[in-house]
Amino acid sequence: MSSIKNINTSGGMTTKINTDTGEFQVDQDSKPFLEAAKRERDLVEKFGHKDTGYRKACTIPDIVAVDLLYKYKIDIHSPDFMHDPAEIRKVIGIMKTDYAHLMSY
């Protein structure tokens, strides 16, 4: 008989771990992130975008950050990540193709 443990995190992620097989599943409610990204796109569409040299590209929920780490070996939580323009461009490209609904523009 399998033993399943449920773990809830403070970040809204839920995890199920089968302690017999080591298999695990992680879920996160994406609705608040999708709604925030849509609001940002709507604001840019309505008011335009003031070019200040910086702009928010996307919203990245923790579950997507985990996906980026495992699929692409990119740790967006690394202290060095924001200092590597090539990695930032790579993540923006991935977000545009795989997670376009989370883009802010």
How many independent structural domains does the chain possess?
1
Any domain includes 59: yes
Report the C-alpha gap between 20 and 5 in whole angstroms.
Answer: 10
Looking at the predicted structure, is the pLDDT value of residue 91 above 80?
yes
Structural domain boundaries enclosing 39: 29-102
**Shortest CA distance to 15 belongs to which of 23, 28, 7, 67?**
7
Burial class (CB in 10 A: 0-12, 13-18, 19+), 17: middle
Looking at the predicted structure, is the pLDDT value of residue 1 above 60?
no
Dump pLDDT digits (tens) for 52-87: 666 788 989 988 998 999 999 999 999 999 999 999
